């Protein structure tokens, strides 16, 4: 019983190592929460959770060797870095005219659940996290069978849910105080981080490629 409880609580805490990293998922959460309110965070994580359930099943069925392959890491690092730079450039380009719009038209345009899936896939750190920390946890949890895997996943997704709900509700509830200027500064900060992280990813992948 104690090992199972340990799996749950440690996976909950360590989930923050991924959730707190700024990236496409956080950027969309900030943007849509400013328009649609605090429930964006839980909806984003619902889509994110569906993707992660699929990934866990794939790992159990034999995907683990691919995630640990060095060529795969190099490809993810370089391609993912380029995609993140493109996203950051798009964000910087939109800053001058970026405004908070709280209307029904904005709500109908955006599928928040789908965004949770697509923005997770757009973040190479997400794949790297699962290829290292996440994979290690799954292998440890498998020793306790289905119960161990389930407790790991519940603890992990609760960590994501807590963090993104806090961010989303803080922005959603404070929309009257959340001015366009603050909104642009926040999106600009996320874009800056994306550039820095993308450069690091490309450098890491390029170094391994040259060393090979």
Q: Tens digits of per-residue pLDDT, 121-141?
A: 888 778 877 887 788 788 778
CA distance 74 to 79: 8
Residue 28 belongs to domain spanning:
2-211
Q: Which residue has the tokens 């509700």?
A: 169
Specify burial of residue 96 (Cβ count, 10 A radius: 0-12, 13-18, 19+).
exposed
Task: Report whether pLDDT(107) > 60.
Answer: no
Task: Report whether pLDDT(27) > 90.
Answer: no
Residue 212 is predicted with a pLDDT of: 67
How many helices (H) does the chain have, and how many strands (E)?
A: 12, 0
Q: How many domains does the chain have?
A: 1
Q: What is the DSSP string of 86-104?
A: HHHHHHHHHGGG-----SH
3-state secondary structure of 207: helix
Residue 20 is predicted with a pLDDT of: 67
Residue 175 is predicted with a pLDDT of: 65
Residue 67 is predicted with a pLDDT of: 73
Token output for 196: 């820095």
* pTM higher than 0.85: no
3-state secondary structure of 54: helix
Q: How confident is the model at residue 5 (pLDDT cuts 50, 70, 90)?
A: confident
Residue 21 is predicted with a pLDDT of: 67
Residue 185 is predicted with a pLDDT of: 82
Residue 153 is predicted with a pLDDT of: 94
CA distance 70 to 84: 21
Neighbours of 14 (CB within 10 A): 18
Please state the rounded mean pLDDT for residues 48-60.
92
Enter the DSSP assignment of 198.
H
Report whether 149 contacts 59 (CB < 8 A).
Answer: no
């Amino acid at each position: 019983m104690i090992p199972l409880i340990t799996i749950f609580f440690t996976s909950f805490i360590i989930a923050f190592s991924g959730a707190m990293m700024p990236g496409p998922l956080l950027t969309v959460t900030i943007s849509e929460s400013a328009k649609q309110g605090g429930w964006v965070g839980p909806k984003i994580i619902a889509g994110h959770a569906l993707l992660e359930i699929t990934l866990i099943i794939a790992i159990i069925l034999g995907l683990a060797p691919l995630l640990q392959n060095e060529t795969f890491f190099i490809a993810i690092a370089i391609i993912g870095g380029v995609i993140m730079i493109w996203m950051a450039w798009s964000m910087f380009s939109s800053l001058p005219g970026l405004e908070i719009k709280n209307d029904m038209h904005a709500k109908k345009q955006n599928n928040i659940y789908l965004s949770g899936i697509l923005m997770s896939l757009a973040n190479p750190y997400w794949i790297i996290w699962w290829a290292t920390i996440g994979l290690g946890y799954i292998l440890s949890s498998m020793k306790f069978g289905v119960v161990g895997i389930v407790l790991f996943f519940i603890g992990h997704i609760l960590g994501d849910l807590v963090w993104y709900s806090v961010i989303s509700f803080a922005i959603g509830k404070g929309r009257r105080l959340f001015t366009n200027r603050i909104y642009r500064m926040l999106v600009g900060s996320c874009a800056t981080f994306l550039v820095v992280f993308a450069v690091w990813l490309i450098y890491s992948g390029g170094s391994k490629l040259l060393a090979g």
